[in-house]
């Protein structure tokens, strides 16, 4: 079953005179603890840098700017596969040459594949005169997520394209709701191990107890209501996952200690970012977010595991065009 049906008529490009665009494609936090595959949040840091050139022939070329081993076959590349789908819906011989500066490490849990997919389609859409809607761009970008994980999901690509916090009510048909984003700070630690999304999905239980499902539904509804009402205490109470996190957390060294001590340091709450291994915590202010960062650093220093940390905020605009 297709995710969303394209229109019967292909789009007529209105080509950009520049024929070139550079974009920042942001990282994202998927799930937001309790909202597996349906909630996502866009970040101001980190970002991939992507350069896209317009071609007047039906092809996609992929380059890695920094030597990072990216698949050169566009059909097997998270940026290339969405562009192939876009090209098939354009009423003119059109192609794109993409150069990716990969700053969001694949397998980090902060939306590396989504950044490539979303950045590519936003840039390409700009070059053909913005003939596609954001919803169309999400539909295309999901083909990149399928390359990465074997499953089309939108909880990373939707916030990356729309900005802020998004709810994926349905993918059959595609239904995306933007949720008001509170002015919170986000602290992220990325332990330098890789957890592949495909592997993290395979260990999940296929069935859940009704009592667990009811508790999870309550947390999802509470979190969405809390964002809409800017109720920070309710955000903290709702950041609980009784289904996915207990299984996936075993893949992440120091998870329980990080979560407990970060909340003791004043964080509202948080958990696994996407499929991990990155962990995120939400805080009311920058001072608290930096305390949380120190806690994360101390724990991973004691464990002896290399890591990267970020203190950032919620990106309310998504992929950003920075030059053309």
In the structure encoding, which two tokens stand for residue 179, read together? 């949720």
Phi, psi of 215 (to 5 degrees): -65, -40
d(CA 291, CA 289): 5
Question: Where does the chain have alpha helices with state H?
Answer: 80-87, 112-127, 134-149, 157-162, 197-202, 210-229, 232-238, 245-248, 255-264, 286-303
The helix/strand/coil state of 228 is helix
d(CA 48, CA 100): 7
Q: Are 241 and 255 in contact (CB under 8 A)?
A: no
Catalytic positions are 145, 197
Q: Are 175 and 188 in contact (CB under 8 A)?
A: no
Name beta bridge partners: 281.
187, 270
Residues 6+ apart with CB under 8 A from 277: 107, 108, 109, 190, 191, 193, 194, 195, 251, 252
Q: Are 131 and 14 in contact (CB under 8 A)?
A: yes
d(CA 108, CA 307): 11
């Amino acid at each position: 079953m297709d995710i969303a049906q394209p229109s019967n008529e292909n789009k007529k490009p209105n080509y950009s005179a520049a024929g070139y665009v550079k974009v920042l494609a942001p990282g994202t936090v998927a799930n937001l603890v309790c909202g597996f595959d349906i909630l996502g949040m866009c970040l101001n840091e980190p970002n991939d840098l992507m350069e896209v050139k317009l071609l007047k022939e039906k092809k996609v070329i992929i380059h890695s700017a920094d030597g990072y081993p990216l698949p050169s076959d566009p059909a097997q590349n998270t940026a290339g596969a969405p562009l192939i789908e876009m090209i098939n819906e354009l009423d003119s011989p059109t192609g794109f040459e993409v150069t990716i500066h990969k700053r969001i490490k694949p397998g980090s849990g902060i939306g590396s594949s989504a950044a490539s997919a979303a950045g590519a389609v936003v840039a390409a859409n700009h070059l053909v005169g913005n003939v596609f809607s954001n919803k169309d761009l999400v539909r295309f970008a999901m083909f990149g997520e399928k390359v990465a994980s074997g499953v089309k999901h939108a909880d990373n690509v939707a916030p990356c394209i729309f900005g802020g916090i998004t709810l994926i009510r349905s993918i059959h048909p595609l239904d995306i709701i933007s949720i008001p984003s509170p002015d919170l700070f986000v602290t992220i630690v990325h332990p330098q191990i890789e957890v592949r999304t495909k592997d993290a999905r395979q260990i999940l239980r296929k069935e859940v107890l009704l009592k667990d499902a009811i508790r999870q539904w309550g947390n999802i509804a509470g979190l969405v209501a809390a964002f809409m009402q800017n109720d920070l205490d309710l955000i903290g109470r709702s950041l609980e996952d009784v289904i996915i996190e207990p299984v996936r957390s075993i893949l992440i060294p120091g998870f329980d200690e990080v979560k407990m001590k970060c909340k003791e340091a004043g964080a509202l709450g948080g958990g696994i970012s996407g499929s991990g291994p990155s962990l995120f915590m939400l805080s009311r202010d920058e001072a608290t977010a930096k305390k949380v960062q120190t806690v994360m650093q101390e724990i991973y220093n004691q464990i002896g595991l290399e890591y990267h940390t970020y203190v950032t905020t919620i990106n309310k605009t998504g992929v950003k065009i920075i030059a053309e």
